[in-house]
Amino acid sequence: MTTAVATPAVALTNFAAALADKPVRFWANPVEFATFLATLKGPQFMSYDAVYDMEAKGKMLKKNRVTGLPNPYFGRGLKKYATTQVTVNFDYKEKVERREGEYSGKGNWTQAVLVGGKPSPLTTHKADVTAGPNGEQRFVENPRLYLRCEIVRYGEGEKRADKEMRSTSEYRLADGTVVAYDDLKDYLPLPSERKDETDFICPSLENVVELRAGGVVWRKWQPVGVAAR
């Protein structure tokens, strides 16, 4: 999958898209994109495409979990290309309690980005934000920003885990070769155990290459001829 690219004249590209009645906008850095996300009000659906470097820390194991053999996919530019439907601006605490899960209130490494005192579709590292004298959030330069969302599920079943997750993915090597999940699964870390039935995730804005929300398509700006990274 190669994301659409823009010319260096981002403003002209946006203008041309508007004239063609195609609501497409481009962002050049995560903070610019986050400014749009912070304006979204109330619970709503969105869909995004993301590209993940599988050689990044924590993405793959160096040895097969079952056989102990070396991972043959390291050093070959393996990436995961995913499309996911999510909801944002939900009450996470209420969701956990309604599903009879355990909510500690302490959270983890994340800190929701607040807009008007309420959580936005964004989160950051706790180390990247401090409280000002009036309780306002103050961010470090170039904060690490993430989408604060929950994966959408549809279908039958009393439990959320029994329903279909609206997320698809594909693994490809640098030369375009598709790697089947069954061939890769024993080189992937086991998912952490959840204490509730939420699908709360925090994908980095650095990985998102396109997002569709609020009637607008947002795409990551890249020079002509540069594929999604």
Q: List, for residues 169-180, the tens digit of each pLDDT value.
A: 999 999 999 999
What is the pLDDT at residue 195? 65
Instruction: State the average pLDDT over residues 11-34.
Output: 70
Cβ contacts of residue 175 below 8 Å, gap of 6+? 77
Instruction: Identify whether 48 is part of a domain.
Output: yes
What is the pLDDT at residue 101? 46
| CA atoms of 53 and 207, how far apart (whole Å) | 9
Instruction: Identify whether 174 is part of a domain.
Output: yes
Least confident of 146-150, 207-211, 215-219: 215-219
Instruction: Identify whether 5 is part of a domain.
Output: no
| CA atoms of 143 and 129, how far apart (whole Å) | 8
Instruction: Identify whether 4 is part of a domain.
Output: no
Token pair 């990044």: residue: 56
- The model scores a pTM over 0.85: no
Instruction: State the average pLDDT over residues 64-82.
Output: 96
Confidence band, pLDDT 50/70/90 cuts, at residue 3? very low
Q: Is the pLDDT of residue 9 over 80?
A: no
Full residue range of the structural domain in which residue 201 is found: 10-220
Number of domains in the chain: 1
Q: Alpha helix (H) ranges present in 114-184?
A: 181-184
What is the pLDDT at residue 147? 94
Confidence band, pLDDT 50/70/90 cuts, at residue 95? low
By percentage, how much of the chain surpasses pLDDT 90? 46
